[in-house]
Structure 1
Amino acid sequence: MGVGGNFWDMLKPYARRQEGFDFLRNKRVAVDLSYWIVQHQTATTTTTTTALNTNTINLRLTFFRTINLFSKFGAFPVFVSDGSPSPLKSQARIMRFYRSSPIHLPLSDDTSVVERNQNFLKCVQECLELLQLLGMPVLKASGEAEGLCAQLNKDGHVDACITSDSDAFLFGATCVIKHLSPNSQEPFECYQMSDIEAGLGLKRNHLIAIALLVGNDFDLKGVQGIGLETALSFVKSFNEDEVLDRLCQLGGGNTLADITDKTILKTRFPHCSLCGHPGSKRSHFKDACERCSSSTHEGCLQKPNGFKCDCSSCEQDKKEKEQKKNEAWKMRICKKITTEPNFPNNEIIKLYLNNNHTNLTDVEPFISWNNPNTEMLIDYLAFKLNWQPSFIRQKLFPLLSTILLRNVAKSQETYLLYGQYEFDCIQRTKVRFGHTFYLVSWKKSTQTVNNKSYTTPSKDPEVQEDYDELVDIFDDADVTNVYIDDGCLMTDENMDLVMAAYPEKVDQFMQQKESKEKKSRKTPKAKSAEDTSTPTSRSVQLNITQFYRSSKGETSKKSKDDDFSIAKRNAGSRKFSKSARRRLLFE
C-alpha cells in the first residue's frame, strides 16, 4: 500500500533503528487503525489458526496492542479511521482485488468486493467502540486515514504516525513508524523525513512525482516502462518547486523540443596520433610538443596503451558526451511520459497536496484521554469475546496502573480497579530487552465502592487456552505482563513514572537495596576467613599428598612425616620416569 515498486526498500538505509522503548514515552502518536486491522488479517491468513473468528481476533489484538502502546511504551495514542474513499481509490481497490484473485471475473460483478468491504467496515466499527470504551481519542478522516495522520504530524498535534502506508510522506508526515516489535531492544522501525531529504535529496514534491511515475493507491499502473530507480534519477534532475510543473508540461508534450535544443556540442581539438597530446603529428614532427620535450630532447614519444589525454579540450569533450548521453536518456523517459494518456492526473496531485483531511475546524479539543469505562468495557468484552470478568480486569490492570501513576504524579486523586488495589512496594528492578523497569506490587485494599466486591483476577482455563492461540499469531508480541502472587498483583512500571508518583517508595526501595548490598559484601569475607583456616575448605586447592592420604602417615609421628615428605620431594626432583615417580609418590 502506498507508492508502487520497492519504495520502502529505497528508504530502508535511512531508517532509524536505534530508537528504544522510551522513544514514544509521553509523546502523542497517530495510529492508522486500518493498518492495524489489515496487519491482523494478514497474520491470521498466513497461519493455520482457523478456530477463531476474524472479527474476534481484531478485537483481541486491538485491545492488547492499545494497552501495550499506552502502558509499556508510555505513548498517548490517537486513533484515526478512514472516511469516504475517493472514487479513484475505490477503483484502484477493485483492480488490486482482481489482480490478486486467481479467477479473473468481469469488473461489473463486484459483489465479492462489496461483501469484503462490508466485513472490513464491521471490524473497524467494533474496534472503534472498544477504543472509545478504553478512553482513547478517535478521529475520523474525511478521506484517507494516513492523510489525517500526516496532517496531525505536520501541524504538531502528534509527534509521529504509526502506519505502513508510504503515502503518509506524500501527505506531509515528518515521522513515520512502520513497524513495532515490543519484544526487541529496538522496537521501532522509524523514518524521519529529514533523514530522507539528507540521504536521497528528495522532498515532498519529489516523492509525489515518483508516485505518479511508478504508481500509487489512486493509480496502480503509473507510466509504463518506468521503474523506481529510473523515476528516482529523473525527478532528482529537477528542483522541488518545478518537478510537478515539469511533469504536467511533459504530459502535454510541450517540452521535448526544449530538451533537445539544450544539447550544444563543441568541436574537439586535433591530437597527435604518436604521443596523444594536443596538436597534429606533422607539427610535432617538425618541433616536439612541450609535454614530450619536457622529459626528453629526442622528440615526441610513442603513447602507451590505454593513454588518455587530460587536457582541457578532452575534459570538455567528456562532459559534452556525458551531457549528450544524459539528455538522450531524458528524451526516452519524456517520450514514455508523453505517450501515457491522461498523465499526470491532477486530481491525484490535489489529493496529496491537500492540507485538510478532516471535517473539523480544530482537532485539538477532540484529542483527549479519559479514564476507561471499566464496567461497560467488561460487559462489552464479555459479550463479544466470551471473556470472564476476572480475566478482563487482569489484562486491563497495566492500563489502569499507568493512569493511576500519572494522576498521582499530578496530585490528582484516583482509584485503581474500583478502589480494590493500592500501591504497596517496589519488589525489584527488572531488565527486559535492555530496558529497566520497576516490578511494582499492588496490594488488595479493604475499601469497596458502591458496596460491591470483586474477585481477584485469575486465569480462566477455557479463556486462557483460547488466548494462547491468539498469542501464537504474533509470537507473544502483544501480551500484557501481569503477575499474581498471594493476592497481590505485580506489574512492570516505568522507573521515572514511579519516581514522580511515589518518591518516598523509591527512596525506601533504594535504602533496602543498599543495605542488602552491604550485607552481601560483608558475608563473603567472613566465610573466606573461616575457610582458609581449615585444610579441607573448598576454596583452597589441596595438593596431591593431602588429597590421597596414606594410612602409614596417619600412624607415624610428626618427625617421620616430615622426613617422609622430604624424601618424597627429593625423589620427585630426580630424573625418574613418570610411572616411577607415581609409584614413589603413593608408596
Structure 2
Amino acid sequence: MGIKYLWPILSPFCERKPLYELQYKRVAVDLSCWVCESQNIAEYTVQPRMYLRNLYFRTCYLLLMDVHVVFVLEGRAPELKYKTIAARNAVQFKGAKPKTDRVKVGKDRSRFNHTLKQCEEMLKLMGIACVKGEGEAEALCAYLNEDGLVDGIISQDSDCFAYGARVVYRNFSISQQGNHAAKGGSVDVYDIAKANESLDFGRNKIIALALLCGSDYCDGVHGIGKESVVKLFNVVSEDEILKRLRSWKDRASYYGKLEAKIGDKSLCTLCGHSGRAQGHTKKGCLECGTSQGCDSGKFENERLEIKNELNMRSKALADPSFPDEELVNEFLVKKSNVSELNLEWTKPDLINFVKFTVKYLTWEEIYSFEKFFPILTRWQLLHQDQIKDETQGIVTPKFIKKRRNPKGIASYEVVWEDKNNQFKGLIPEEQLAEFGDVEKLWSTVEPQNLVENAYPVLVEEFEDSKKPKNRKKKKNPVDEIDNLLKNVSITGPSKSKKSKKLHTLDDFVVKASTPKKVVQNCSFCLDQSNFGDENDLDVSDIVDKIIDKKVPPYVPENLGKLGLKLTDEECNIDCSFFVDEMVENDLFEKTFREYCISSGEFDSDENTAVTNK
C-alpha cells in the first residue's frame, strides 16, 4: 500500500521500538489500514468480523497505555484511486459486487464504508473520538501531524509522507512474542526528518518516486526501478526534483544537446574533450594538460548520470501525460483544514457495548463484560472530576484486595461493586453460575498512582490494614536493670561528698518472674524466687549476698526529702546495710540480747554465745 519502494529507501532510518514509548503521545490511526489487514485474513465461523475483534483489542491496549488516540475515517475516494479500489474489493469481499454510490460501479468504497461504519459505532461505545476528512484517511492523518495536532500516525500506508506526515508508526503489534524490544508490543518508527537530513530526501522526492515508480494512484513508468531513481535523487536536490521532472517535457532542446554530447563519437568518453579515449591514454589530452592519459575524474561520472537521466526521460515521455499534475496536486493541495482536535476520552458505554458484541461478534455477555469492564474502571480513575455528578454507567470501588506488580508497574487489585444495580440482568444467570468467582469478574488491576489520586481514603484504609498490629512490647528485665543503674556508681562505699543515688533493698531484688539467666548474668540482682519459704541457712546466704553488694552511702539530698539534715561530718560517714559495731542503748540490740539470754543462746554474764551440742 502506498508508494512503491518508499519503505526500503527509508529502512535505514527506521527504529524498532517497544509500544510503551507511545505512552502519553497523541496518535492518529488510519482506521482503513487496520480493517484491510484483518479482512485479508479468511473469515472463521468461530470469530466472524475479525476486523472488529482486532480493532477492539488494539484500541484497549492504547487506552490502558495512556495514549491519546483519534481514529481517522475515509472520505470520498479520488477518481485516481478507482482502479486500486476495484482490485482491493475483489480480494477483501471475495468478488462481491459493491453497492452503487453514484460513481463508477465496482470502483467505489460503498461496501468498505459499511465496514468502517461498524468500526466507528464500536469506537464510540468505547468513548473514542473519530474524525472524517474530505478525501483519503492517510491524507487527513498527515495534515494533523504536519500541523502539530498529533505526534505521529499509525499506518501501513507510505502515502502519508507524500501528504506531509512527519512521523509514521508502522507494523503496529501488541504481540508478546519476539525479541526483548518487542515484548509487550512493538512498532517501527519512521521519522522523515532523519532521511531529509541525511539524504536530502523529503516530500517532493517522495512524490517524484510515486510518479516514476508507482503508487495507489498510478502505475508509474514502466522500466524504471529504485536504483535509477536513487541515482537521480543523488544529483538533484529536494527543492528542484519536481521542476526537473517537468523540464523533461518543457526543455526538449536542452536534453537534445545532452543526447548529442553523449552520443558524439569524436569526444573522449573519459574527459569529454576532443579525441578518443584510446588516443588520450597513449598520448595524453591537450585540454587536460597531460602527456599521457587524461583527467577522467569528472566527466566519466557526469556522463553516467546524464545517461541515466536521459534513459529515464525517454521512458517517462512515452506517456504523454507525464508528469501527472493531478497526482502532484493530490499530494500537495490540502483538502481538509483542521484547526483544533478534541482527543478527550468520553465515558464508555458498557451496556450497549455488550449488546453490540453479542450481535456482531457473537461473544457471550459475560465474556464481553469481562473484557470491557477494565476500560470503564480506567476511565473512572482518569476522570474523577466528571463522575462526581454522574451515576449512570458508573461503578464504585468496594475494597482493595492486594498489591500487584504487572510488568514492574506498582498496582492495586481493586474489587468494584454496582451500588445502583444498573448492570443487573445484563449477564444471564446461567453464565454467572458457570463462571463461579463473581468477585474475580468485578476485579481490575489499576496503577497505584491512579487509585491514590481517585480514592485516597480507600488506599489509606488498605495500607493501614497491612501494617503490623501494635503489640505491647515485653520489657526486658536486663533493660530495666540497666535503666535503674544508669548514671549510678556501684563501686563500693565512698567518702566523696558528691551526690550518690540512694538505694533500698528493693533495688537489689528482682521479681520472681525474671528469667534465671538474666539474674545469673546480673552482678547487681538477687533472686526473689525463693523468698518466703526459705530456712535459716537460706536466709544466711541471702544476707551474705546483700552484704557482698557494695552499697553507695546515703546522701544529704535524699535525706533532705525526708526532712532530715546531716552535718558535714555526718555526710562523710560510710554507711552499709549492717552496722559494724554495737551501738549503746540500741533498742534492737537490747531486745535481741534479752531474747538470746532467755532462750539460752547467750550467757547473761559473759555476753557470749552458748555452744550447741
Both proteins in one fold, TM over 0.5:
yes
Letter in 2 for 1:336: K
- Which residue is 1:64 aligned to? 57
Of 237, 240, 258, the match for 2:238: 240
**Deviations 1:156-185 (Å, cap 9, x if unpaired)?**
111111110000011011111111222233
Change (3 A) 1:412 1:229: farther
- Which residue is 2:490 aligned to? none
Of 404, 413, 420, the match for 1:448: 420
Letter in 2 for 1:355: K
Assess if the C-alpha contact under 8 Å between 1:425 and 1:505 holds in 2. no
- Which residue is 1:77 aligned to? 69
Assess if the C-alpha contact under 8 Å between 1:205 and 1:244 holds in 2. yes
**Deviations 1:331-382 (Å, cap 9, x if unpaired)?**
2222222222210110110010022336xx6452x54321122333233223
Instruction: Report the identity percentage.
Output: 26
Mark the runs of 5 or more structure 1 residues left unpaired by the alignment.
Answer: 106-110, 281-309, 465-482, 516-587
In structure 2, distance between residues paired with 1:23 and 1:341: 48
Assess if the C-alpha contact under 8 Å between 1:210 and 1:232 holds in 2. no
Assess if the C-alpha contact under 8 Å between 1:224 and 1:340 holds in 2. no
Give 3-state SS (helix, strand or coil) of 2:247's partner.
Answer: helix
1:134-533 pair list within 5 angstroms:
134-182=126-174, 183=176, 184-185=182-183, 187-219=186-218, 221-252=219-250, 254=252, 255-257=254-256, 259-260=258-259, 265-266=272-273, 316-357=295-336, 362-364=339-341, 366-408=342-384, 418-422=394-398, 424=400, 426-431=402-407, 436-445=408-417, 447-448=419-420, 453=424, 486-487=439-440, 489-494=442-447, 497=450, 501=454
Give 3-state SS (helix, strand or coil) of 2:395's partner.
Answer: coil
Q: Identify which of structures 1 and 2 has the higher relative contact order when contacts are C-alpha pairs closer than 8 Å and 6+ apart.
A: 1
In structure 1, distance between residues paired with 2:247 and 2:324: 12
In structure 2, distance between residues paired with 1:413 and 1:21: 35
Letter in 2 for 1:62: L
Letter in 2 for 1:265: G
In structure 1, distance between residues paired with 2:142 and 2:437: 41
Assess if the C-alpha contact under 8 Å between 1:442 and 1:490 holds in 2. yes
Q: Structure 1 residue 206: deviation in Å?
A: 0.7
In structure 2, distance between residues paired with 1:121 and 1:191: 28
- Which residue is 1:302 aligned to? none
Letter in 2 for 1:137: A
Change (3 A) 1:149 1:318: same
Q: Structure 1 residue 401: deviation in Å?
A: 2.4
Give 3-state SS (helix, strand or coil) of 1:316's partner.
Answer: coil
In structure 2, distance between residues paired with 1:15 and 1:458: 52
Mark the runs of 5 or more structure 2 residues left unpaired by the alignment.
Answer: 98-102, 177-181, 263-270, 469-613
Comparing both structures, which one devotes a greater share of its residues to helix?
A: 1
In structure 2, distance between residues paired with 1:171 and 1:53: 36
Letter in 1 for 2:120: L
Q: Structure 1 residue 135: deviation in Å?
A: 1.4
What is the aligned length? Answer: 446
1:80-159 pair list within 5 angstroms:
80-94=72-86, 114=106, 117-159=109-151
In structure 1, distance between residues paired with 2:209 and 2:410: 48
- Which residue is 2:267 aligned to? none
Letter in 2 for 1:79: F
Q: Structure 1 residue 193: deviation in Å?
A: 1.1
Change (3 A) 1:490 1:181: farther
Q: Which moved more, 1:244-253 or 1:404-413?
A: 404-413
Assess if the C-alpha contact under 8 Å between 1:30 and 1:79 holds in 2. yes
State the TM-score, normalizing by the size of structure 1: 0.65
Of 22, 45, 54, the match for 1:51: 45
In structure 2, distance between residues paired with 1:118 and 1:8: 29
- Which residue is 2:28 aligned to? 30
Give 3-state SS (helix, strand or coil) of 2:323's partner.
Answer: coil
Give 3-state SS (helix, strand or coil) of 1:339's partner.
Answer: coil
Change (3 A) 1:141 1:457: farther
Assess if the C-alpha contact under 8 Å between 1:206 and 1:240 holds in 2. yes
Q: Structure 1 residue 399: deviation in Å?
A: 1.4
In structure 1, distance between residues paired with 2:463 and 2:310: 72
In structure 2, distance between residues paired with 1:36 and 1:147: 16
Assess if the C-alpha contact under 8 Å between 1:89 and 1:217 holds in 2. yes
Letter in 2 for 1:2: G
In structure 2, distance between residues paired with 1:158 and 1:225: 39
In structure 2, distance between residues paired with 1:98 and 1:411: 48
Change (3 A) 1:368 1:102: closer
Change (3 A) 1:423 1:454: farther
Assess if the C-alpha contact under 8 Å between 2:82 and 2:107 holds in 1. no
Give me the CA root mean square deviation: 4.6
Change (3 A) 1:415 1:401: farther
Q: Structure 1 residue 404: deviation in Å?
A: 2.0
Give 3-state SS (helix, strand or coil) of 2:71's partner.
Answer: strand
Change (3 A) 1:271 1:168: closer
Letter in 2 for 1:222: G
Give 3-state SS (helix, strand or coil) of 2:221's partner.
Answer: coil
Give 3-state SS (helix, strand or coil) of 2:406's partner.
Answer: strand
Change (3 A) 1:260 1:215: same
The structure with the larger Rg is 2
Give 3-state SS (helix, strand or coil) of 2:145's partner.
Answer: helix
Assess if the C-alpha contact under 8 Å between 2:403 and 2:412 holds in 1. yes
Change (3 A) 1:130 1:328: same
In structure 2, distance between residues paired with 1:500 and 1:408: 9
In structure 2, distance between residues paired with 1:397 and 1:410: 18
In structure 1, distance between residues paired with 2:61 and 2:278: 74
Letter in 1 for 2:45: A
**Deviations 1:386-418 (Å, cap 9, x if unpaired)?**
434332221112212221222249996777963
In structure 2, distance between residues paired with 1:188 and 1:458: 42
In structure 1, distance between residues paired with 2:439 and 2:135: 52
Give 3-state SS (helix, strand or coil) of 2:353's partner.
Answer: helix
- Which residue is 1:539 aligned to? none
**Deviations 1:165-223 (Å, cap 9, x if unpaired)?**
0000110111111112222336111111112223443111011101110001111x211
In structure 1, distance between residues paired with 2:92 and 2:353: 38
